[in-house]
Structure formats: structure tokens, C-alpha cells
A and B are shown apart, each in its own frame.
Chain A
Amino acid sequence: MGSRSDALRAVTRGHGVDLLARARLLTGDDAAAGLLVERALAQGTGRGHVAESPDDATAEVRRALHRAFRRSKEPEPPLVERPAAEGADAPGEPDLREALRLLSRRERVALVLRYVDGMAATAIAVELDVSVKAVLADLRSGASRLAAERPDLHVDVEDAVEGGVEEELTVAFGARR
């Protein structure tokens, strides 16, 4: 890949949907999701070595997104009610965003990587550039809190802490435009 602009273009064309979806899952807010993706694109493609392939660039941006979200200390915007037609929650099911908002950002991103990407604590630690100990603590506290708040989700705390695969998996959402 020749340049940072090449990388940025390749990532947004191929994975813009996934990045935005992932950011919205973490933030629970459209505007905050857009800002997070913008920041991740800038950090993931603007810093360090230029990625050698679109896949490498995408991994960098995804990593930057997770790390930026975890580090962020900005106040979170209030949740805006979403139309039911969006289908984010099953009929009759409470808004998951409200339960996720009870978790710290650290806990939230760890659980998303654990349950959306199927990653084990070791892989999450590499993704977030933090110690495995910190990830284990976040998984445990986040899963415990979520289990208490939403018993209908049947969250198994031990499974959250011990499960997952050690190699990074790539899970993408949505369709390409």
C-alpha cells in the first residue's frame, strides 16, 4: 500500500460499515460513533508505519478504535430513543444500550471483543495493548454487572473470563455499499 491516503480509502471502502456499527455498539450514539470512527481512521492510518495491505490497515484502524474508546474520558451523551423499526432490540426486550451504559468503557470494550469477536482475554489484551490481568478484571466485573442487570441474557461470568479463542477473529457487520 503506497500511502496513508490509500490506506484510509481502502479501509473506508471495505470496512466503513463494520467500523461504524462497531462504534455505535460501543458508544450507543450515532454522533459519538461517527467521531470515534473518524478518530480511529486518523490514528490507524495516520500513525506509525503505513500498512502494507488493506487488511493490515483495517486491523490497525479497528485496533485504534477499540483503544481510543477504552481511553476516552469524555462524558457520554444521553441515549436517544431509537425507532423500533431499526430492529436493534428484539420485540419486548429492553434497550441493551441502557445496560451497556452501566458498564465502564473498559468493561464494555472487553465484553464486545469477547462476545462479538469471540476473543479470549489474551487476544483482547493484545488488541487493546493492556495487560491480560486488566482484561480479566474488566471481563469479570463487566460480565457480573451485566448478569445482574439483565438476567435474561444469561451471562456466564466464568465463561466471559475464561472463554474465547486466543487468535484474533475478524467479525464484520452489515453490507458494503
Chain B
Amino acid sequence: MSNELMDSLARQAEAGGTLYDGRDMDDAVVAPARRRVRRAHTLRAAGTLGVTALVLAGGLTAVLEWQGGRGTVAPAVTNVPDVDPDALTADDLRARTTARTLDDGRTGQAGILCSMPVKDNPYAGSDFSRADDCPAMWVADQPLLEVTRADLTLDGDGTVHIAWELANTSDESITVDEGTLSIALTSAPDRVMDGEGYTAGDRQLIAPSLWTSAEERVVQMEGETSRVTLRPGDVLDGDATLDPQMFTGLGTEGLLTGISEGTVAPTVTLQVRVPPAGDPGTRELFLEDSAVVITTGTMDPVSASFEGLEPRLQGETRDDAQEALVCHVGEADNPRFAVEDGEDVPAWSTPTCEAVWIPGGKQLELTELTISQADEFSSELYWNAANVSGRELELDEASMAASIDLGDAGYIMNSGGVSVGWSPWDTDRTRKGALTSASSRAFLPAGAELTGSKTFERDPETKGADISILIRVVREDDEDGTRELLLELPWSMEG
């Protein structure tokens, strides 16, 4: 052990730490980093659009938290962005509340009142934001805040933009927490969710409805607190962008297609926290209002490669069809279309994709898959696949990825196109895929074989794992990065 070296390094580092006080970290480092993050999520697919299954505490509703990052609710006060100490606060409004139910037929100002221990209150210093279902309330007999604009624009690749306005239509000033304003897009807002669940994250939520029972509604408690007073007539406005992948999650079935085809008229609900006069405590009040959106735009026609696909359930087997995944990520979140970052290292993402069957028999089948010890700390996964389709296949060899499903492993490690750990299945119809910035198109004649290998950190549990190899299909319209079609080649180590 070299104590001298350790001491010397520590002194260097301590001296470096003093830099922090001598510069404006926010301006010099954090702001550019934030811009990089935003740029990454508008221009390229550096980030995975992971979807994590959560279960609401005490609730029956499954929920997916969308963890992509492109969308932003971006509220902006059009005037008077200050706080009036005499404006209404949660303390004033809570005293007026009465219980609200789905079918009570009343009108007025709708609200939601959540109760929680202070330590769990995201606005009282808890680092964890949350979505929860809380009792619905009537806060006033007349509306205080109303959605005065809700326009939805659908891009050809399935990206949804929503422009909204929320106005104080009452004759009283009210202080709201604009930094926590969240937006929800619902397809059947006037019924209780029937176990479909919802997809939420980054102050955006998609669901059939926000009602989890006739008395409780879902509310997101996220964002950075920022109080403003809305005087009578003041307006908050903003826009939100929902990535197409968000419409792969729970509670979103058919919504994107329905919007595109004009068969669904979704409702936008804006929810905003009303802060208390003093410090946050055990109760949080939210006001909400909804409006049916005006929609414009349609999705581009889907490539022929995606026609005729049939839904696939986890564990389902068929001999007359090929397992595959459709990853509807939108071009901005497709690594293949990422702007080169000069690092010369392929970027990978693990988006949530729909499990499908390609009818017409198997196309590519694994004939061999082995795991061997590469060295003391790592294993090598090797596979051999054969083209059994009876025709030539055009595939992207650089896209080959491996998913090693260890079940409830307690961890997931994604590295260089290998995913080891938790099951890739998010729901029984959706699972994680793998997309990369690298591409190498290759023709595989009928009967020809394809091999690949990946190295990963050793885990003894892989002996009994379910493994799948993924490979991207090269399409006639390969320059369209909206969707990707991956063949999934399953293999069980248990035989």
C-alpha cells in the first residue's frame, strides 16, 4: 500500500474541491449539462425509454412509470409571476372541500386531497416523487381554474404534442405550484379504470381514466416547487410532448391509433398543486380540470414489414410463426439515427416493445447457445442461428443483442447489447428490446447460419436462465426510424 500516493492524491482532490466555491457551477457546468440532456432527447436516442412496473401502495392498479425524457410540460405564466401573500392557499381551500364521487352529478372546482407522512411528502423534502391515488374532492361550487385550451398535434411518427392553457376564471387570487403541474391524457375519463393500469412519468400520464375507484383519482406528485399567484384572469400555458413509446405502456391500448384515425377523442386533465401557507405537512391539495382535446395530424402509413403481425403473449408458443418485437420509438429516440458523438462506441437503448408473431413459420432459429467461462470474472455467451425461412433474409448483424432473463434477480445490468438480470417482460404483451447506433446489413441465404457472441459478468444463475437473442430486420424503408422490427430467438438453458 502506498500511503504517500494516497495522501498526495487526496490533497490534489481536496484542492480541486475548492474550485466549487470559486465558480458558478450552475452556469458553467450544470446548465450546459441540462442542455445536453434535452438535446439528447430531442435529437437522438441516447437514453433508453425504460418502463418500470410499479404497484400503487394499497391499490389494485398496476402502473407503468415511463422513464423517457423528451417530454416536458413546460408551463409558463403569461403574466404576474409573483406570489401574493393574500391569495388563496391550500389552507383556505381545504376548509371548503367536500367529498367528490365519479357520478355525483355536481359541478364546481374539482380537487384531490392526498394524505401521507411528512417523510413521504415529496414537497417536504422527500427525494422521491410519486404517483398515488387519493380521495377526490369538490373544492368550490364554482370553477377556480379552467382548461381554456387543449390542442393536440400528432406527428407522422406518432409523437404527440399538446398545447394547453389553464386560466384563473374565478374572482379570487390563488397561489399554485406551477413547477408541479402535470398533464394526463385519458381515453375514457368518465369511468373507473378496469385494471388496465396507466403509464406515467415526468409529470405526464396516459390512462383510460384517472378514477381508480368511484372515490379516488390518480395524481402525480413530481417536479420542482415554484409558486406563483394566479390573479383573476391570469393564465398558465405550456406544451407537452409525448413520445410514441409512451403509448406502448399500460392503459394506452389503441389510443395512438384511435387519435390518428379520429375514432378516439381524448381528454386532457391538468393537475396543479396548491401549496399551503406554511411548510408542507401531511396533506397535499391539488386542483384539476379537464377538456376534450382538439386533434390535428395523423400518423404516417406503417411500413409493409409491420402489416399482418399478430399480438404475442409472454410464454405463448407457435410453430407457424416467428417471435418478434415491434419497437415504436420514434426516430428521435432511435439510436440508429443518433447524431454521432465522436466516441466511436455503439450506443444501446432498451426500449419497451410490443411482442408480436410474424405469421408464416419460423424464419431464424437458434441451433446452439452456450455459456462458457471467459475468465475468472466474465462469461461468454455464444450462439449459432440458422435461416430456416426457405428464403434469403436481410438482417442487421451489428444489432444482435442478448437478453438473459434471471427472473426476479434483484438487478439488471445492461452493457454493450447484453442485458442480464430481471425479466425483460414489462407486461404479458410488452418487453424490453435492444436498439443500437451500429448497423451492418447482411444477406443471409436460406439455410445459412449466423453466429454471435457477447461477454458479460459471470452470474451462476445463468445456468437455468431463459435467454433470447434479438436481431433487427432490415426493411425496404430502412431509412424510416419510427419503428424497428426485431426477430426474437428464444432459448432455455434448462432445455
Fill in one digit per residue for A70-91: 1 if any B CB lies within 8 Å of its CB, else 0: 0100000000001000111110
B427 at interface (Cβ–Cβ under 8 A)?
no
Pair A47/B47 contact, Cβ less than 8 Å: yes
Q: Which of B9-17, B105-113, B396-404, B446-454 contacts A (4 or more CB under 8 A)?
A: B9-17
| A interface size (C-beta, 8 A) | 70
Across the interface, do A42 and B33 meet the contact criterion of CB distance under 8 Å? yes
- The residues of B that contact A52 with a CB separation of less than 8 Å are 128
Q: Given the known A-B contacts A2-B223, A116-B10, A152-B4, are A49 and B378 also in contact in the complex, defined by CB atoms under 8 Å?
A: no
Q: Nearest Cβ distance between residue A36 and chain B, in whole angstroms?
A: 9
Which of B35-43, B169-177, B268-276 forms contacts with chain A?
B35-43
A129 touches B415 (CB 8 A): yes
> What are the interface flags for B421-459 relative to A under an 8 Å C-beta threshold, 1 for contact and 0 otherwise?
000000000000000000000000000000000010100
CB closest residue in chain B, given A163: B1
Q: Are A126 and B47 in contact (CB under 8 A)?
A: no
- Determine which residue in B3, B47, B375 has the highest number of CB atoms from chain A within 10 A of its CB, and name it: B47
Q: Are B375 and A133 in contact (CB under 8 A)?
A: yes
Is B46 part of the binding interface, using a Cβ–Cβ cutoff of 8 Å? yes
Q: Mark B16-35, 1 if CB is under 8 A from A, else 0.
A: 11111101011011101110
User: Shortest distance in angstroms between B445's beta carbon and chain A's nearest beta carbon?
Assistant: 35
B339 to chain A, nearest CB (A): 13
Contacts of A160 in B (CB 8 A): 2
Return the contact of A10 from the options B15, B127, B455 (Cβ within 8 A): B127
Which of B2, B11, B21, B345 is close to A90, meaning CB atoms less than 8 Å apart?
A: B11
Q: A53-B128, A132-B377, A163-B1 are in contact. Are A2 and B34 (CB under 8 A)?
A: no
Q: Mask for A14-26, Cβ within 8 A of B = 1, else 0?
A: 0011101111110
- Which residues of chain A (67-125) have a CB below 8 Å from chain B? 71, 82, 86-90, 93, 96-97, 112, 115-116, 122, 125
Is A97 in contact with B12, judged by CB distance below 8 angstroms? yes
Given A89-B11, A115-B6, A153-B8, check contact A24 B52 (CB 8 Å). Answer: no
Contact present for B17 and A87 (CB under 8 Å): no
Please tell me which one of the listed residues A50, A82, A177 contacts residue B67 in the complex, with CB atoms under 8 A apart. Answer: A50
Complex CA distance for A63 and B12, rounded to whole angstroms? 20
Contact assessment for B13 and A116 in the assembled complex, using a CB-CB cutoff below 8 Å: yes
Min CB–CB distance B240 → chain A (angstroms): 13
Greatest chain B CB density within 10 A among A24, A90, A160 is at A24
The distance from the CB of B419 to the nearest CB of chain A, in whole angstroms, is 12
8 Å CB contact of A24 from B12, B37, B224, B376: B12
B36 touches A38 (CB 8 A): yes
Q: How far is the CA of A30 from the CA of B22 in the complex (A)?
A: 11
Q: Which residues of A contact B34 (CB under 8 A)?
A: 5, 8, 41-42
The answer to whether B101 has its CB under 8 Å from any CB of chain A is no
Interface 0/1 of A35-71, CB less than 8 Å to B: 0011101110111111011100000000000000001
A33 CA / B486 CA spacing, docked (Å): 41
> A144 interface residue, CB < 8 Å from B?
no
Q: Collect the chain A residues with CB atoms within 8 Å of residue B15's CB.
A: 21, 24, 82, 86-88
When distances are taken between beta carbons in the complex, the residues of chain A under 8 Å from B3 are 154
Which residue on chain B has the smallest CB distance to residue A50? Answer: B67
Q: Which residues of A contact B8 (CB under 8 A)?
A: 89-90, 93, 96, 153
A5, A53, A112, A133 pick with most chain B CB within 10 angstroms: A5
Cα separation A33 to B13 with both chains bound (whole Å): 12
Q: A3-B203, A21-B17 are in contact. Are A8 and B10 (CB under 8 A)?
A: no
If A4-B37, A5-B224 touch, does A116 touch B18 (CB 8 Å cutoff)? no
Q: Point out the residues of chain A lying under 8 angstroms from B4, CB to CB.
A: 152-154
Chain A's closest residue to B36 (CB) is: A42
Contact A46 B41 (CB under 8 A): yes
Contact with A along B338-367 (1 / 0, CB 8 A): 000001010001000000000000000000
**B36 near A39: Cβ-Cβ < 8 Å:** yes
A6 within 8 A of B: yes
Contact A41 B33 (CB under 8 A): yes
CB of B69 closer than 8 Å to a CB of A: yes
Q: What CA separation (Å) do A156 and B1 show in the bound complex?
A: 6
A1 touching B20, Cβ below 8 Å = no
CA distance A8 to B23 in the complex (A): 18
| Interface: B414 (CB within 8 A) | yes
In angstroms, Cα B6 to Cα A90, docked, is 13
Contact A116 B36, beta carbon cutoff 8 Å: no
* B95 interface hit (Cβ, 8 Å): no
Contact A175 B37 (CB under 8 A): no
For residue B1, give the distance in angstroms from its CB to the closest CB of chain A. 5
Q: Which residues of A contact B414 (CB under 8 A)?
A: 48
Give bound CA distance, A20 to B23, whole Å. 11
> What residue of chain B has the Cβ atom nearest to residue A9's Cβ?
B224
Question: 7 closest A-B pairs (Cβ-Cβ)?
Answer: A174-B17, A2-B129, A24-B16, A42-B36, A46-B37, A41-B33, A2-B222
Can you list 9 A-B contacts (CB < 8 A)? A2-B122, A6-B222, A9-B224, A49-B48, A50-B69, A96-B11, A115-B5, A163-B1, A174-B20
